[in-house]
Structure formats: structure tokens, C-alpha cells
Amino acid sequence: MKIALFPGSFDPVTKAHVDILRRAIPLFDKVVVGIGLNSTKPAFLDIDKRKAMLKAVFADEDKVEVSTYEGLTVEFCKKIGATYMIRGIRTVSDFEYEKAIAQMNHSLVPEIESIFIVSKPGYSSISSTIVRDIMRNNGDVKQFIPKEAFDLLQKP
């Protein structure tokens, strides 16, 4: 069984994340969306909200599972039996950063392959960081977030 992990903070999930994952799903038997908990990076949305948003967005996908984890991403891959890690690439600087991480991960656990999926041009400017900044300043993020996630943002 080909299992892949799509790790990230998903704080919040964006249309760019959804595009990468929807394009990756046909390549694998199962894709686990792993919400990484990072103690050095304070979250904007709580973990339950992020998990609910992802589950709502991918409710129609039997091959997608949403989970949370702490610690090294490669260790989580081993725990869930994933031998592939999906990473989205928006820019050249993303590639350089992700390449370095992929090489380190490969040194730690050689059987895990990183799969890079290049963002579609229309999504290359969308990042969770920018969306969070817009949200913090009461801007309209509707065009950057999937409808199912946006609907959940409107609920307390």
C-alpha cells in the first residue's frame, strides 16, 4: 500500500494546499494530512478548528485521513507507514528550503521519498502566513480559503 504524508501547519488551510493534495491523491492508496504541532511557533487557529476544516474540505475523499503529530515528521511517517512525503513548491526559495529538508530527512530515514508538486500559477502567491495576516487585520480571506473551511471560520 502506497501511503503518503502531506505535512504542514494548515493554519489555516488554503486553496493552494487543497490544489496540491487533490493532485497528489491519485498517486497514492492513502494520504494522511498531518497537522504538525510546533511548540516554537504559536498557532493562530486552534488544532481542533484546523482539523475540522481539513476534514470538511476532504469529506468526499475516502483516501484522505487527517491526523496531528508532534516531533520529527519522518518519525511520524514511520509511525503511520508512510514512505512518501508530499510537499508543495510555490517559488524557487520554497524549492531550496524543501530540498534541504528532504535531503536531511533522507539522511535520517532513507526509505522515505519526498515528492514535490509545483503549485499552479494562480495559487503561487497564497500562503497561510499571508492569509493569517489578512485575518488578523479583519480582511476578507474568502478567495484564498476553500468554502468548507471558510464556513467553519465564521462559527465561533
Number of Cβ within 10 Å of residue 37's Cβ equals: 13
Tens digit of pLDDT for each residue in 49-104?
999 999 999 999 999 999 999 999 999 999 999 999 999 999 899 899 999 999 99
Q: Looking at residue 96, what DSSP letter applies?
A: H
- Active-site choice (15, 50, 119, 128): 128
- Active-site choice (41, 79, 120, 142): 41
Q: How far apart are CA 105 and CA 100, in angstroms?
A: 9
pLDDT at 41: 75
Q: How far apart are CA 138 and CA 70, in angstroms?
A: 30
Q: Is 87 annotated in the active site?
A: no
Q: Is 128 annotated in the active site?
A: yes
Tens digit of pLDDT for each residue in 89-104?
998 998 999 999 999 9
Q: Is 23 annotated in the active site?
A: no
Residue type, 103: Q
Q: Is 136 annotated in the active site?
A: no
- Active-site choice (17, 50, 87, 119): 17
